[in-house]
Structure 1
Amino acid sequence: MNDMFDTVLVANRGEIARRVIRTLRRLGIRSVAVYSDADASAPHVREADVAVRIGPAPAAQSYLDVGAVVAAAVETGAQAVHPGYGFLSENVAFARSCAAAGIVFIGPGERALEVMGDKIRAKEHVADHGVPTVPGFSAAGMTDADIVASADATGYPLLVKPSAGGGGKGMQVVRSAAELPDALSTARRVSAAAFGDDTLLLERLIERPRHIEVQVLADAHGQIIHLGERECTLQRRHQKVVEEAPSPVVDATTRARLGAAACAAAASVDYRGAGTVEFLVAAERPDEFFFIEMNTRLQVEHPVTELVTGVDLVEQQLRIAAGEPLRLAQGDVRLDGHAIEARVYAEAPERGFLPATGEVLSWRAAEGVRTDGAVETGSAVTADYDPMIAKVIAHAPDRATALQQLDAALAETVVLGVDTNIGFLRSLLADDGVRGGDMDTGLIERLPAYAAPAPSAAALAAAAAAATAAGDNAVSRRATPMSASGTGSLGEKPRSGQGGGGGGAGHASALWLTASGWRAGAPAVPVSTAFETGDGSIVLGEATEPGPIVAAGARRERARTVGRALADGVAVAISDDGILWVHADGVTTALRPLTRRQAAERRRAARERGAAASDPELRAPMPGAVVAVHVADGAPVAAGDRIATIEAMKMEHPVTAPHAGIVRIDVAVGDQVRRDQVLAHVKEND
Structure 2
Amino acid sequence: MTSSSGSRLGQANGHEYREKGRTTDMPASTNRDHARPALFDSVLVANRGEIAVRITRTLRAMGIGAIAVYSDADADARHVREADLAVRLGPAPARESYLHIERVVEAALATGAQAVHPGYGFLAENAAFATACQQAGLVFIGPPASAIQTMGDKIGAKLTVQAAGVPVVPGRTQPGMSDQDIREAAAEIGFPVLLKPSAGGGGKGMRLVRAADELPAAIESARREAAAAFGDDTLLVERFVHRPRHIEIQVLADQHGTAVHLGERECSLQRRHQKIIEEAPSPLLSGRGTSELTRQRMGQAAVDAAKAVGYAGAGTVEFIVSSDAPDDFYFMEMNTRLQVEHPVTELITGVDLVEQQVRIAAGERLTVGGSELTARGHAVEARIYAEDPARGFLPTGGRVLALREPEDLVRVDSGLTVGTVVSSDYDPMLAKYVAVGRTREEALRTLRAALGRAVVLGVTTNIPFLRALLADPDVVAGDLDTGLVERKQDQLVGTDLPEDVLVAAGVEKLLLAEPAGGVTDPWELPGGWRLGEPAWSVLRVEAAGHDPVEIRVRGRADRAEIAVGDGTPTVAGGHWADGDLVVTQGGRVRRYARARVGNVLWLGVDGRGWALTESEPLDAAAHEQAGLGGPVTSPMPGTVLVVRASQGDEVSAGQPLVVVEAMKMEHTVSAPVDGVLSEMCVRVGQQVALDEVLAVVVPHEER
Q: TM-score range by the shorter chain?
A: 0.7 to 0.9
Whole-Å Cα distance in 2 between the matches of residues 365 and 238 of structure 1? 27
Whole-Å Cα distance in 2 between the matches of residues 685 and 589 of structure 1? 37
Aligned 1:547-562 pairs, distance under 5 A: none
1:150-173 CA-partner distances (Å, limit 9, x unpaired): 221222211111111100001111
Residues 282 and 527 of structure 1: is their aligned pair in 2 closer, same or farther, counting only changes over 3 Å? same
What is residue 143 of structure 1 aligned with on the other side? 178
1:51 to 75, 81, 86: 86
What is residue 543 of structure 2 aligned with on the other side? 533
Whole-Å Cα distance in 2 between the matches of residues 455 and 544 of structure 1? 24
2:352 to 297, 312, 332: 312
1:497-553 CA-partner distances (Å, limit 9, x unpaired): xxxxxxxxxxxxxx9xx9833548999899774432222242648685448xxxxxx
Whole-Å Cα distance in 2 between the matches of residues 309 and 542 of structure 1? 56
The residue identity in structure 2 corresponding to 1:441 is: T
- Root-mean-square deviation (CA, aligned residues, Å) is 2.6
What is residue 612 of structure 2 aligned with on the other side? 591
What is residue 181 of structure 1 aligned with on the other side? 216
Aligned 1:496-507 pairs, distance under 5 A: none
What is residue 274 of structure 1 aligned with on the other side? 314
Note if contact 2:196-2:237 (Cα within 8 Å) is conserved in structure 1: yes
TM-score by length of structure 2 reads: 0.85
SS at match of 1:159: strand
What is residue 467 of structure 1 aligned with on the other side? 509
Residues 515 and 80 of structure 1: is their aligned pair in 2 closer, same or farther, counting only changes over 3 Å? farther
Residue 382 of structure 1 pairs with residue 423 of structure 2 = yes
Segments of structure 1 that go 5 or more residues without pairing to the other structure are 477-492, 494-510, 548-561
**1:681 Cα deviation from its structure 2 partner:** 2.5
Whole-Å Cα distance in 2 between the matches of residues 521 and 99 of structure 1? 84
**1:22 Cα deviation from its structure 2 partner:** 0.3
Residue 166 of structure 1 pairs with residue 180 of structure 2 = no
Aligned 1:342-353 pairs, distance under 5 A: 342-353=382-393
Note if contact 1:362-1:563 (Cα within 8 Å) is conserved in structure 2: no
The residue identity in structure 2 corresponding to 1:140 is: P
2:141 to 106, 112, 119: 106
Identical amino acids, percent of aligned pairs: 52
**1:452 Cα deviation from its structure 2 partner:** 2.8
Number of residue pairs matched? 629
The residue identity in structure 1 corresponding to 2:393 is: F
Residues 384 and 472 of structure 1: is their aligned pair in 2 closer, same or farther, counting only changes over 3 Å? farther
Whole-Å Cα distance in 1 between the matches of residues 124 and 50 of structure 2? 15
Note if contact 1:570-1:582 (Cα within 8 Å) is conserved in structure 2: no
**1:461 Cα deviation from its structure 2 partner:** 4.3
**1:650 Cα deviation from its structure 2 partner:** 1.1
What is residue 622 of structure 1 aligned with on the other side? 636
What is residue 661 of structure 1 aligned with on the other side? 675
Residue 252 of structure 1 pairs with residue 292 of structure 2 = yes
Aligned 1:11-50 pairs, distance under 5 A: 11-50=46-85
Aligned 1:301-380 pairs, distance under 5 A: 301-366=341-406, 367-380=408-421
Note if contact 1:467-1:593 (Cα within 8 Å) is conserved in structure 2: no
What is residue 527 of structure 2 aligned with on the other side? 517
Residue 683 of structure 1 pairs with residue 693 of structure 2 = no
Residues 184 and 467 of structure 1: is their aligned pair in 2 closer, same or farther, counting only changes over 3 Å? same
**1:407 Cα deviation from its structure 2 partner:** 0.7
Note if contact 1:465-1:543 (Cα within 8 Å) is conserved in structure 2: no
What is residue 261 of structure 1 aligned with on the other side? 301
Give the structure with the higher percent strand: 2
What is residue 582 of structure 1 aligned with on the other side? 603
The residue identity in structure 2 corresponding to 1:615 is: G
Residue 208 of structure 1 pairs with residue 235 of structure 2 = no
**1:653 Cα deviation from its structure 2 partner:** 0.9
Whole-Å Cα distance in 2 between the matches of residues 69 and 104 of structure 1? 13
Note if contact 2:142-2:357 (Cα within 8 Å) is conserved in structure 1: yes
1:132-181 CA-partner distances (Å, limit 9, x unpaired): 00111136333322322222122221111111110000111112222111
Whole-Å Cα distance in 1 between the matches of residues 534 and 375 of structure 2? 61
The residue identity in structure 2 corresponding to 1:674 is: A
Note if contact 1:232-1:242 (Cα within 8 Å) is conserved in structure 2: yes
Residues 403 and 540 of structure 1: is their aligned pair in 2 closer, same or farther, counting only changes over 3 Å? farther
Note if contact 1:458-1:584 (Cα within 8 Å) is conserved in structure 2: no
TM-score by length of structure 1 reads: 0.87
SS at match of 1:675: coil
What is residue 443 of structure 1 aligned with on the other side? 484
Whole-Å Cα distance in 1 between the matches of residues 696 and 90 of structure 2? 38
Note if contact 2:528-2:554 (Cα within 8 Å) is conserved in structure 1: no
SS at match of 1:148: helix
What is residue 7 of structure 2 aligned with on the other side? none
Residue 115 of structure 1 pairs with residue 125 of structure 2 = no
Residues 471 and 647 of structure 1: is their aligned pair in 2 closer, same or farther, counting only changes over 3 Å? farther
Segments of structure 2 that go 5 or more residues without pairing to the other structure are 1-35, 286-290, 559-576, 583-588
2:274 to 220, 239, 249: 239
1:634-679 CA-partner distances (Å, limit 9, x unpaired): 3333221211110011111110111122334332322222222222
SS at match of 1:343: strand
- Stretches (4+) displaced over 6 A: 520-528
